[in-house]
Amino acid sequence: MEMFEISGGRPLYGSAVTQGSKNSVLPILAASLLGGGSEISNCPDLSDVDTALRILRRLGCDAWFKNGVVTVSPTGREAVDIPDGLMREMRSSVIFLGAVLARSGEAEIYFPGGCRLGPRPIDMHLAALEKLGAEIEIDGGRISCRAAKLRGAQINFDSVSVGATENAMLAAVLAEGDTLISNAAREPEIVDLQNYLNKMGACVRGAGSNVIHIKGVRRLHGARHSVIPDRIAAATVLSATAACGGKVELGRCHPGDMGAVLRSLREMGCRMEMGSNKIVLERKGRLKAPRPIVTAAYPGFPTDAQPLLMAASLTAEGNSVFVENIFENRYAQVPELRRMGGTIITSGRAAAVTGVERLMGAEVEAADLRGGAALLIAAMSAKGKSRVAGAKYIDRGYQCPEDVFASLGAQIKRIEVKDAEQQQKK
């Protein structure tokens, strides 16, 4: 088991580039099942990507990662089932359901695993597939889907769901006739999926709005595609710079996709300059508490960035308020941040942070991906040494975060648990 060892209190200076989007590449890899050979570039090297590649191999594809490029090729054999063990490794593994069903006319998966963020029902995924003509049976944790022929339909989601929107898109592109998805998710990752599907020969339009129209086609082919930058990874670097102080230029990012996060960082006193593909953030002096941060579907404040801004707010002057509307268990990082001296009170979906002068290093443990990133941010801004256990969660969404932050002047390294135990004995 690995952890991060950090000696905090150092400002961040320099430049970094943003990795490819985790939340974009996973549905794109699922979509690659639907055509011939594809080449996906700007792919981040993440444990979730590795899991997705193993799922593709299980389903009958050759799938390989090298130097940021994934190559996917059909082998001629098709499997339709994803074992329980693979499903449990990744929370978004359910995204393969629509693609397998569209390709093979049947699919058998298990309920997904991943970070413990509270209930994430897949009822909307299944209801959308039923609208398209799928017959679904649930036996314990196993989900079996069959459809002799998928047919276009009108799908109106009761609430916004990124995953359900993506699954509906993946199934509908090969359905007979037209599909209209209403109350669709509007995230940039949905637009990226649309662009990839259209390169494969699909006919999809409207992504980025709340209505997506899909005209089904008989077959798709392979395509080359470059994944968009990861707006949450970008927010992580910017939040760390805000927390630690300094000045960082972040390249290969899309500022237009990050409006809500950038507004909150400005309210905290950060100075920013932006270009079409870069952000320069500078923080001098003490941060100030922002206006209440309330998570919402895009273009609202992203739930994935809430823990990051919470970590930065720990030493901000005044009281910061957070309201989490997406996941029930998005405050798993709070007890660990308190160990570092953070003053945080939670009540249901709300959290109040009273800024302190300084955080102190501590032994803490990540319980989920973004909460783990928040612990890294807090540890880099704290006085003294910290150890952040649970690197496996952070590796699900960040490519070598220790290298990124070390290049900006942070004193951070990855160590094995045995190494840490030996250092404690000394």
Catalytic residues: 115
Contact 166, 193 (CB under 8 A): yes
Four-residue CA torsion sign, 115, 121, 125, 130 = positive
Instruction: Number of helices (H) and strands (E) in the chain: give both, helices first.
Output: 15, 23
Three-class SS of 106-145:
EEEEECCCCCCCCCCCCHHHHHHHHHCCCEEEEECCEEEE
Token pair of 345 as six digits: 């009170």
d(CA 314, CA 381): 10
Give the CA distances from residue 404 to residues 152, 368, 410, 411, in Å, rounded to whole numbers and listed in that order: 45, 20, 9, 11
Looking at residue 227, the DSSP 8-state letter turns out to be P
With 0-12 CB in 10 A as exposed, 13-18 as middle and 19+ as buried, what is 179? buried
Residue 125, token pair as written in the block:
């995924």
Q: What is the DSSP letter of 38?
A: E
Instruction: Locate 417 and state its tokens.
Output: 């648990």
If we measure between CA atoms, which residue out of 121, 130, 75 comes closest to residue 98?
A: 130
Using an 8 Å Cβ cutoff, are 142 and 174 in contact?
A: no
Query: What is the distance, to the nearest Å, from the Cα of residue 36 to the centroid of all Cα atoms in its chain?
Result: 27
CA atoms within 13 A on the CB side of 6: 34
